[in-house]
Amino acid sequence: MSPPRIKDAGDAAVLLEFEPTIDVHINARVIAVAAAVRRLPLAGVRDVVSTYRSVAVYFDPLILDVAVLRAALERSAQAPPAYADGRLIEVPVVYGGVSGPDLESVAAFARLGTGAVIERHAGVSYRAFMLGFLPGFAYLGPVDERIAAPRHAVPRLRVPVGAVGIAGQQTGVYPHTSPGGWQIVGRTPTRVFDPLRTPSALIRAGDTVRFVSVRADDLPPRVSSGESDGAGAPREPSGRAVTVVRAGLLTTIQDDGRWGHQSEGVPVSGALDRVSHRVANALVGNGPGAATLEVTVLGPTLRIEAAARVAVAGADLGFSVDGRALAANEAMECRPGAVLQSAGRRDGARAYVAFEGGIASSPVLGSQSTHTLAGLGGLGGRALRPGDRVPLGPVRGTRSARHVEVLSPVRRGGARVRVVRGPQDEFFPERALDLLQTIRFTITPQSDRMGYRLSGGRLPRLEGREMISDATFAGGVQVPPSGEPILLMSDRQTSGGYPQIATVISADLPVVGQLAPGDWLEFEQCSRDDALAALVAQEAALSVLW
C-alpha cells in the first residue's frame, strides 16, 4: 500500500487519501485513522469523516494551524491502526410487490427468478463502508455481481423511507423519503436514522449488516410512516413570537450550522451568507451564532407580536415596518403588532432578519438550522408557511448598534470569487483549471441551497477516469460528466461521486450566497495563504461588532 496523501480542500478542510479503490482492508484503516484523529486534542476541529478510502477533516483555520493538523494526520496515518470490529446489525426486509417494485427488473437483469435474487441479496453480510447521500444512509457492499443492477437512467422523484435498493455493487436503506435512482427491491420498517436517538445513525462505518427476508404479516403494525422527527419543536419560553402572514419564496431558520455530524451523513446547513447573518445579530444585541430568518429573493410578511428590536442585513429586499423603510444593515424598534414586509428584490439574493432575544426553536443535533430535504431543524424541518408562529427568546438588554458599516457580500449582477485548487484536480487536464478561470458562468434556475448549477462553459475531465464517492466541501466546484460545474453550498450532501476541481475560499462564500439564478460567476485561483489572510481580515471587521 502506497503512503496516503494529504490534500487541501479549500482553506477550512484537508483530505487524507489512501488508494483509490474500494477495498475492505483500506477502508478498515481509514476508519481506524479517523477514530484516532477524533481522539486528538486539537482545538478547532469541526468534523472528521471517513469515506471509502479517505479521511476528511473540517476545521476552523482561525483556531487551528493547517501545518499542525497535517502533522497530526501524518502521525495518525503512520501509526499501527487500532482496528475495532463493528457491530452486526440485522435488518428485516419485505421483498417485492409494492415494497420492492424493481425486484422483477433486477431478476430480469440477473436472468434469475425473484426468489434467487432475494437469496443472493439477503444471503450475505455487507460491510458499511461509509455514510452519506442522506443522513443515516450507509453505503453497503459488495453486492453479488450477478444481481448488481445499475441505477435507473432517470431517478424517481420519490423513494419512500425504508426502501432497500441496489446500485451496482452497492446496496443501502433510504432513511428518508427522497428522490433516488437505485433499484428498489424491498422495504424495511427499521428506522436507520433518528435525530432524537444517540447515535442518530443506526449503522456506522465499519459495521456489518445482514438483510433478513420476512413477510409483511410477520412485522408488527407500523406505528408511523417511519420518518424521523427531525423538526425543531416550537417553544415560546418568553411568550414572545412572530406570526407569518405571508411566507415569501423561501424563508427558513438558520444559524451557524450543524457541525459534528457529517460522519453520520448529516449536512452542515446554516446561513449561506454568514457575514450578513452575524451582522443582523449584532444589530439587535444577539450573539453571533443566534438563529435568524434567511429570506430568499422574495421576502415574507411578518407580524411582530411583542415589542422587539428587529434588524435586516444582506440583500436589499425592500423591507419596511408599518410602511417605514428598514434598510439593510439597520435596526429598528418595533411596537407590538408591527408588520414587517418586503417589496421585492433590489440587490442581492438573501436577507437575514434578526430579532432581539433570538429565535427560540428547539435545536436538533445541536443546531436550529433548517435542512428541508432531511426535515431537520427550524419549524417542522421545512420552510415557513402562513400561520406559523416563530418563537422568540427573552430580551436581555444587550448593547447593540442601530447601523453598522461592514464590507457587504452583496454584488450587483454577479461576482468574481477566489478558489484554492483541488482536492480532486488530478481528474482533470491542466487546461481545465485555466478554463475555470476564463469562463463567465451563469447560475441556472436549477440551483438551491444544496448547490448552484452553472452554465456557460464545460470543463474537460480526463477520459476513462471515474471517482469513487468521496467527501464534499462547502464551495467545492464539482464537475459531473456533462462538464457543467456544480458549486456546492451549505445544504450539500456530505459525499458525492463527482470530482471537485477547486474550492471557493471561506471569505468569499458569503458573496456566493448573495447570488441568484441569472447572476454571473467567475473564478480566480489563489493560495491558501491568500485565503487565510482574507478570512483574518473579514473576521477583524466583524469582531468590532461585539
Q: 194-220 pLDDT, tens per residue?
A: 999 999 999 999 999 999 999 988 776
Intra-chain end-to-end CA distance of the chain, in Å: 51
Could you tell me which of 526, 365, 489, 482 has the C-alpha nearest to residue 8? 526
pLDDT at 466: 81
Beta-strand runs (E) in 317-431: 319-321, 324-325, 330-334, 338-342, 347-355, 389-392, 414-421
Which residue type sits at 398?
T
- For residue range 364-395, what is the model confidence (pLDDT) as tens digits? 999 999 999 999 999 999 999 999 999 999 98
The confidence band for 544, taking pLDDT boundaries of 50, 70 and 90, is confident
Residue 86 φ/ψ, nearest 5 degrees: -80, 175
pLDDT at 221: 60
pLDDT beyond 90 at 294: yes
- Sorted by sequence, the CB contacts under 8 Å of residue 123 that are 6+ apart come out as none
Q: Which residues of 15-31 are buried (b: 16+ CB within 10 A; e: fewer)?
A: bbbbbbebbeebbbbbb
pLDDT beyond 70 at 398: no
Q: Are the beta carbons of 199 and 87 closer than 8 angstroms?
A: no
Q: What strands lie across the sheet with 347-355, from one edge to the other? A: 250-254, 292-296, 347-355, 308-316, 330-334
C-alpha dihedral (95, 101, 105, 107), degrees to nearest 10: 10
Q: How far apart are CA 475 and CA 274, in angstroms?
A: 13
Q: Report the largest interatomic distance among the alpha carbons of the chain, rounded to a whole angstrom.
A: 72
pLDDT at 402: 63
The DSSP line for 475-521 is TEEE--TT---EEE-TT--SEESS-EEEEE-GGGHHHHHT--TT-EE
- For residue range 153-184, what is the model confidence (pLDDT) as tens digits? 888 989 999 999 999 999 999 999 999 999 99
Could you tell me which of 229, 271, 230 has the C-alpha nearest to residue 254? 271
pLDDT at 230: 61
Span of 349-353, 397-401, 430-434, 501-505 with lowest mean pLDDT? 397-401
Averaged pLDDT, 515-533: 97
> Which residue do the cell numbers 428584490 mark?
345
The confidence band for 234, taking pLDDT boundaries of 50, 70 and 90, is low
pLDDT at 403: 64
- For residue range 248-292, what is the model confidence (pLDDT) as tens digits? 999 999 999 999 999 999 999 999 999 999 999 999 999 999 999
The confidence band for 236, taking pLDDT boundaries of 50, 70 and 90, is low
CA distance to 10, 442, 525, 532, per residue, from 420 (Å): 5, 20, 6, 11
pLDDT beyond 80 at 95: yes
All three cell numbers of 36, joined, read 484516532
Q: How far apart are CA 394 and CA 321, in angstroms?
A: 21
Better-predicted residue by pLDDT, 225 or 374: 374
Q: How far apart are CA 26 and CA 205, in angstroms?
A: 13
pLDDT beyond 90 at 130: yes
Pairing label, strands 208-213, 88-95? parallel
Q: What residue spans define the domains of the chain?
A: 5-78, 88-218, 240-392, 414-543
Q: Give this prediction's pTM.
A: 0.93
Any idea what the Cα angle at residue 121 is, between residues 118 and 122, rounded to 5°?
A: 80
Tell me the CATH number for domain 88-218. 2.40.100.10
pLDDT at 228: 45
Q: Are the beta carbons of 244 and 124 closer than 8 angstroms?
A: no
- Equal CATH topology for 5-78 and 88-218: no
Domain 414-543 has CATH 3.30.559.10: no
Average pLDDT of the chain is: 93
- For residue range 16-61, what is the model confidence (pLDDT) as tens digits? 999 888 899 999 999 999 999 999 999 999 999 999 999 999 999 9
Averaged pLDDT, 442-457: 96
Tell me the CATH number for domain 5-78. 3.30.1360.40
pLDDT at 165: 97
- For residue range 481-507, what is the model confidence (pLDDT) as tens digits? 999 999 999 999 999 989 999 999 999
